[in-house]
Amino acid sequence: MPQHTRRRIAVIGGGANDEHAVSLASAAAVARAVRALRHTAVLLTIGEDGAWRDEQDAVLPAPRAIELLTGCDGAIPMLHGVRGEDGAIAGLLELCGVPSAGSPVRAGARGMDKHVTKLVAASLGIATANARLIEAGSVAAITGLTPPFVVKPASGGSSNGVFVVADPSGVAEAVDRARAFGDPVLVEEYVAGREVDVAVFRDRHGVLRLGAALEIGVSSGGVFGAVEKYDGSARFTVPAPIGDAEEAAVRAAAARLYEALGCAGVARFDFFVTADGPVLNEVNTAPGMTERSQVPLMYAAIGLDYTGLIAELLDAVPAPRRAGAPG
């Protein structure tokens, strides 16, 4: 989608999950950038109740929402979390023939499932924390793991439902608490390392573009949790002050994961940099995209500002598939 061509772009935010508010902020920022590029932004919201709404907050019957989507030349889905980032919105857009600036169904589903992501990473030789998957309704079994532990839903985001447990006696309670945010649950060994993220997208020429590595510092010295993500207490240092070999290892791992998961659009890969090399924490195929989020900061550090980043993502969107056109 060349920059000089004016397009109608659907920007979809909200979502029926616990990341609704931050998704709204991401969508609003993207819509501003789309309009700054002189495209028409059609801002659509999925409410916490699952209902579609327009920019005036009027409820849209599903057929009307589909009509608006199919009247657009492309979409930028900003739905973080379940029933969105997990491939749900990608599937809807694909069925409607609306090209997307985000990852397809397969990549969203794989990236959202932290257990599956671990399996993909292991197949590539990329380290992850030792873990046990606690299926829905089963008793927490953590034999073979060394404390302290991190307990979290296998599918979820914004660090909601993530708990650090120092002793095995506290795991069962933490698993029960994490289940309120999603099942199944992962119990992982705590990884001591510097938290370093890197973002990747594929441009219109098929070239992978990586942002500068970014290090996250938390004032408490603990986990980069839901509170720290949004209360301003976390410190982002970009470029990350790590060694050349460490940065090369993180960037190589991010690029390999992007390809193996089948990502499109921009994705963020979060690592712990340890003395033994990078350890994958998680993958975000629909990362936060406010002007202050990690991904825009990474690209700004290499000279690509927020509006330029959105322009690049739109340029990589293929032409829409029109009714009656050959598939």
pLDDT of residue 152: 93
pLDDT of residue 287: 96
pLDDT of residue 153: 92
pLDDT of residue 88: 96
pLDDT of residue 144: 86
Whole-prediction pTM value? 0.91
pLDDT digits (tens, 9 = 90+) for 191-246: 999 999 999 999 999 999 999 999 999 655 455 544 455 445 679 999 999 999 99
Locus of tokens 């749900």: 88
Q: What are 224's two structure tokens?
A: 């980069």
d(CA 191, CA 173): 21
pLDDT of residue 196: 98
pLDDT of residue 136: 74
The full set of domains in the chain, from first to last, is 8-102 (3.40.50.20), 109-127+192-312 (3.30.470.20), 131-189 (3.30.1490.20)
pLDDT of residue 233: 61
- β-pairing, 208-210 vs 194-202, is antiparallel
Q: What are 31's two structure tokens?
A: 């819509």
- Measured over all CA atoms, what is the biggest interatomic distance in the chain, rounded to whole angstroms? 62
Q: What pLDDT tens digit does each residue of the chain (327 aa) get?
A: 555 578 999 999 999 998 999 999 999 999 999 999 999 999 999 999 999 999 999 999 999 999 999 999 999 999 998 899 999 999 999 999 999 999 999 999 999 999 999 999 999 999 999 999 988 766 667 788 999 999 999 986 657 889 999 988 899 999 999 998 888 999 999 999 999 999 999 999 999 999 999 999 965 545 554 445 544 567 999 999 999 999 999 999 999 999 999 999 999 999 999 999 999 999 999 999 999 999 999 999 999 999 999 999 999 998 886 544 433
Rounded (5°) CA angle 272-273-275: 130
pLDDT of residue 327: 39
Cβ–Cβ < 8 Å for 263, 103:
yes
